[in-house]
Amino acid sequence: MTDLNTLYQTDYSAWAKRHIELLRDRRFAELDIDHLLEELGDMSKSERRELASRLLILIAHLLKWEYQYPLLSERWREFDGRSWRNTIVEQRKQVSVLLRQAPGLKSTLGETISAVYPDAVDLASKETQLPPETFPEQCALTGAQLLDDDFFPNSA
């Protein structure tokens, strides 16, 4: 039998397939527990990072929509915010898919929104050149609003 520790270092795919076999056969004593725990932990971290990244972009674009769109659309009649809308639509779809594929992330949605909000404000501020104080100190958007395809904030 191949040493699973060595296999983990040299052929991750074979290591994973071997673990599937061992788990199906209920041969738990043969599992490479340390690496298995590391991989399972990383899977969860990766999903949480993806959720945070997508929410950051989504919130930043909704902030831009609320605080800069009215200014730009007044100055330039042809400005319709289409690229912002497309980004908002795309990020909402990706967050919805992620939450459907990893439903355990739903319980972290509020916490994740709060955690990424300062970075979303920073991004929106840099992209719009509006001072950070323009935006609320705390995120006023709920998880339901963030994921609602029909929700676009009104002007401030």
| Residue in 51, 45, 39 with CA at minimum distance from that of residue 99 | 51
User: For 35-41, which contacts have Cβ atoms below 8 Å and span 24 or more sequence positions?
Assistant: 35/4, 35/5, 35/8
pLDDT tens-digit profile of 45-75? 889 999 999 999 999 999 998 988 766 656 5
Q: How confident is the model at residue 7 (pLDDT cuts 50, 70, 90)?
A: confident
Higher confidence at residue 16 or residue 116?
116
Domain ranges of the chain: 1-31, 45-147
